[in-house]
Amino acid sequence: MSAMQKQMQKEMPKQSPKEVINIQGLHKTYVLDGVQVHALRGIDLTLHQGEYLAIMGPSGSGKSTLMNIIGCLDVPDQGSYWLNGQDVTKMHSDALAQVRNRELGFVFQNFNLLARTSAVENVETPLIYAGVAKAERRRRAIDMLQRLGLAERLYHLPNQLSGGQQQRVAIARALVTRPSLLLADEPTGNMDSATSAELLTLLAKLNLEDGLTIALITHEADVAAKAQRKVTLIDGQLEHN
Amino acid sequence: MNWAAALQLALKALWRNKTRAMLTALGVIIGVASVIAMVAIGSGAQQRIAEQLASMGTNTLVIRPGSVTRGGVRTGAGTTTSLTRADAEAIRDIPGVIAIAPTVRTGVQLRYRGTNWGTAIEGVTPDYISVKSWPLAEGEFFTEQHVISAAHVCVLGQTVARELFGLSNPIGETVVMKGMACQVLGVLSEKGATAWGSDQDDSVFAPLTTVQRKIMGVTHIDRVEVQTAGREATYQVMKDVTQLLRYRHRIQEEQADDFRIYNRAELAKTSEESAAVFTWLLGSIASVSLLVGGIGIMNIMLVSVTERTREIGIRMALGARRRDILWQFLLEAMLLSVAGGIIGIFLGLGGALGLAQFSNFPVSITPWSIILAFSFAGLVGVFFGMHPARKASRLQPIEALRYE
């Protein structure tokens, strides 16, 4: 049993798997170049602790919009979204920032590492906003990078790292706050197939061994195939497979 | 986010763009340095003027007899003989008067051995040198006793001493004026010319009574110099002197004064005020450059916010609150202006002291100009940093993340 799993068990009393995400009747419309786009048309989705969910869909299906709402970066027009038992649609920007900081970890297609900032400082960044003291921040960041096999790359800048290494730094940054949900938005989109396979193995391992809850967005069927559960988003509506 | 972490973030961000940060701070550096240097020059000039005024004896009133009208003919100022030593003694008792110096003056030919020199002789009292702030160079001044006994003693001005004695010591020697032998008691220090160009050192001084009785054969005096307690007291003293002299001279209600009062404090006040205006003028011109420095900070911070839009988006995704972003950018602006302020203080002090060293121009460094320039620089940072920082903190996370 890994350290992270122990930590999670300490925080959460044992019971039937907890609901991490509970979404009911979600709608989102936005205006793009003067045209109204009804991106989400009534989404119902639940995700339990320890699950690995892939959300598939062609481009323009509304999956990025759904990801942004799940990630508390955007708010729905209609419907409810409960994250770990909290109604996040009622929250203000400071509270949402705190939710993003404590409950969520993001992995983006283009990595979104802070430029000209070392790997370890990138990983420390969310801990700064969590108010963790300096020495503790550094210790936890180094620890997390070591676990992801980047012990030799702690002080490298993003542009000195390969795509796969950059994405592992991004995963370390997402996990260093011990979030209850990892959100991955096309994480293998900018990688060759070998690196991509390596990364997917890592995600599967984190899910299996550490019980990490993962929601992954992709348009590639073989990437989605690694997940436990798959849903497909077509024209703003979900099809459960 | 705690302060130490926020400060560290801001410092790192500035360090990443060292050249840009330095150039931005340069605006503030020049602004603060010029405020400090300009104010130092201005107050240096102010101080020099004050010193010069003090050496002129600024807290003094001069009372001279006025004109009188006899049978329709008006005589000039100073031509009547209405002012007496008794008037001067009465003025001494007015509150606010520190000392008085009644004088008479006439021309005289001085002889010493083979040489002679035409000069002015002034009959004065021992208080004269303190009222005029005119110390002795050597020897001593005559005393009240000499005045009472109308003693044959005198004190020479520098010019007279030089003309009659050359390099030899005049003290204890005897000079002859109007057939009267006078013993030289002392020599006054060099006073220089008056503002209107007459040589003050070309005079010889003897007891008032000696000059009145033995040289001129008169009882009146030419003028009274009145030293007052301070510039403020001068105006009240002027009123009281007017009242007193009108009473003593039995001047009727409808008649004009038969004396005139000249107020040197007025002159001093005007010069000092114009020097202060000069300082403020220099300071405000310099402040404009500080303002320009502030606009430079705002300009660079706005560019920086645009450049770092994606960074702001990433930070927001990782849990930065709006106020964390606000503080990050505000702190950067404040660090630039405060660092610029500190460097500017040293540069301004160095510049002012250098100027004093090499050009002999008086400078005076005032603590308030340093405090003012520094706090103004800090305010400039907050004021001009606020707009870019607010702009950064109001970005929408998804839009900031999508920014290319």
Q: What confidence tens digit (pLDDT) does each residue in B101-116 have?
A: 999 999 999 999 888 9
A77 touches B at CB < 8 Å: no
On chain A, the residues whose CB falls within 8 A of the CB of B3 are none
CA B360 to chain centre: 17
Supply the pLDDT for residue B79: 61
Least Cα distance to A119 among A83, A91, A144 occurs for A144
Question: Is there a contact between B319 and A131 if contact means CB atoms under 8 Å apart?
Answer: no
Q: Is the whole model's pTM more than 0.80, yes or no? A: no
Task: Report pLDDT digits (tens) over A87-97.
Answer: 999 999 999 99
B193 confidence band (pLDDT: 50, 70, 90): confident
> Judging by DSSP bridges, how do beta strands A214-218 and A52-56 pair with one another?
parallel
B212 confidence band (pLDDT: 50, 70, 90): very high
Angle value at C-alpha B305, between B303 and B310, nearest 5 degrees: 125
Residue with tokens 């706005």: B302
The answer to whether residue A7 scores a pLDDT higher than 60 is no
A92 touches B at CB < 8 Å: no
The answer to whether residue A1 scores a pLDDT higher than 50 is no
Q: Which of residues 45-64 of A touch B (CB under 8 A)?
A: none
Mutate to test the interface with B, among A112, A120, A134, A137 (most CBs of B within 10 A): A112
Q: Is B133 left (phi over 0), alpha (psi -120 to 50) or beta?
A: left
Least Cα distance to A52 among A231, A234, A238, A241 occurs for A231
The answer for residues whose C-beta is within 8 angstroms of residue A95's C-beta and 6 or more apart is: none
Read off the pLDDT of each residue in B88-92 and give the average, rounded to a whole number.
90
A15 confidence band (pLDDT: 50, 70, 90): low
On chain B, the residues whose CB falls within 8 A of the CB of A125 are 315, 318
Question: Is there a contact between B317 and A71 if contact means CB atoms under 8 Å apart?
Answer: yes
More confident residue, A138 or B376: A138
**8 Å CB contact between B221 and B135:** no
The answer to whether residue A110 scores a pLDDT higher than 70 is yes
In percent, the amount of chain B with pLDDT more than 70 equals 95
Mutate to test the interface with B, among A64, A100, A166 (most CBs of B within 10 A): A100
Burial B228-259 (b: 16+ CB within 10 A, else e): beebebbeebbebbeeebbeebebeeeeeebb
Q: Which of these ranges, A189-193, B20-24, B230-234, has the smallest mean pLDDT?
A: B230-234
Task: Report pLDDT digits (tens) over B325-350.
Answer: 999 999 999 999 999 999 999 999 99
CA distance B141 to B137: 10
* Facing B1 at nearest CB: one of A112, A128, A173: A128
Please report, for residues A9, A15, A49, A55, A223, the alpha-carbon distance to residue A210 in angstroms, rounded to integers and kept in the order given: 11, 17, 11, 21, 20
ipTM field: 0.91
Residue with tokens 């002299």: B245
**8 Å CB contact between B312 and B325:** yes
Supply the pLDDT for residue B154: 94
Angstroms from A113 CA to nearest CA on chain B: 8
Say how many CB pairs under 8 Å bridge A and B. Answer: 64
Task: Report pLDDT digits (tens) over B275-334.
Answer: 888 888 888 888 898 889 889 999 999 999 999 999 999 999 999 999 999 999 999 999
A100 touches B at CB < 8 Å: yes
The answer to whether residue B124 scores a pLDDT higher than 90 is yes
Question: Is there a contact between B401 and A112 if contact means CB atoms under 8 Å apart?
Answer: yes
A31 touches B at CB < 8 Å: no
Highest mean pLDDT among A36-40, A233-237, B314-318: B314-318
Strand partners, B180: B177
A218-224 contacts: CB < 8 A, separation 24 or more?
A218/A54, A218/A55, A218/A56, A218/A186, A218/A188, A218/A189, A219/A56, A219/A57, A219/A58, A219/A59, A219/A63, A219/A186, A220/A188, A221/A56, A223/A54, A223/A188, A223/A196, A224/A54, A224/A56
Strand partners, A24: A80
**8 Å CB contact between B164 and B175:** yes
**8 Å CB contact between B232 and B36:** no
Task: Report pLDDT digits (tens) over A116-170.
Answer: 999 999 999 999 999 999 999 999 999 999 999 999 999 999 999 999 999 999 9
A30 touches B at CB < 8 Å: no
**Which positions in chain B have a beta carbon within 8 angstroms of at least one beta carbon in chain A?**
1-2, 4-5, 9, 16, 310-311, 313-324, 397-398, 401
**8 Å CB contact between B238 and B59:** no
CA A174 to chain centre: 7
Strands (E), A50-127: 52-56, 78-83, 86-87, 104-107
Average pLDDT, chain B: 88
Closest alpha carbon within chain B to A103: B319
Question: Is there a contact between B314 and A73 if contact means CB atoms under 8 Å apart?
Answer: no
